[in-house]
Chains A and B, each alone.
Chain A
């Protein structure tokens, strides 16, 4: 597991203004965790633009919205893994 500089936790739907702000703030060494409505990004084709940034999605939220299948670019995680990500990251920003 690579260390994470900043873990960005995004819980807004893909068309929410804060989603664009969050994506704009991603830097190499950061990671993105999609929770709640943000997991809807899994249904948007080509939604992930920077392959250098690992993207995680909270599996319970994805499954709840009928999006339980992990894509090639996104890793589904449970709450325990979400806790691990926040513990590994030096900083955490909740968007």
Chain B
């Protein structure tokens, strides 16, 4: 293939792990993008995609742990991973400060994911040259 100019990507994941293939496809895409010299501005989890940032998922040991794989990738490449706060709170994904604010019994946000508003997605669309969405299939 012809040489392509380097891009800065924002990836948006809206499909949940273990009910869709979206987080897997997104991770394999993200690895390939980094390997080709592109940069990732951020990864934004929206809708059911926020389940990827749960520290409480415990798949059988012979299955890929997609949350941990994603967390490792984000750390290794210093890419911000942001879960939409409105999607997250509705679905029971909270960090320490939201736990305190809503007086919840536990927090479960996996590092290095953070929770923030849709403004993070808007900024991603403005800051990056490509925005790629990974939705649930069907």
Contact = CB atoms under 8 A, between A and B. Distances in A.
Q: Do A and B contact each other directly (Cβ–Cβ < 8 Å)?
A: yes
Interface of A: 1, 9, 11-13, 16, 18, 35-38, 58, 60-61, 78-84, 86-88, 92, 94-95
Contacts of B133: 94
A12 B137 contact: yes
A11 B32 CA distance: 18
Nearest to B34: A83
Interface string B60-99: 0000000000000000000000000000000000000000
Given A81-B1, A83-B38, A9 B132 contact: yes
Given A11-B135, A12-B138, A87-B38, A79 B1 contact: no
A79 B31 contact: yes
Contacts of B36: 80, 83-84, 87
Nearest to B33: A83
B135 to A, nearest CB: 6
A79 B21 contact: no
Nearest to A38: B137
B121 interface: no
A22 to B, nearest CB: 12
The contact size tier of chain B is 20 to 34
A94 B132 contact: yes
Interface in B12-50: 21-22, 25, 28-29, 31-33, 35-36, 38
A38 B138 CA distance: 9
A87 to B, nearest CB: 4
Nearest to A58: B25
Contact of A36 (B21, B35, B130, B132): B21
Nearest to B136: A11
A11 B38 contact: no
Q: 3 closest Cβ contacts across the A-B interface?
A: A94-B133, A79-B32, A87-B4
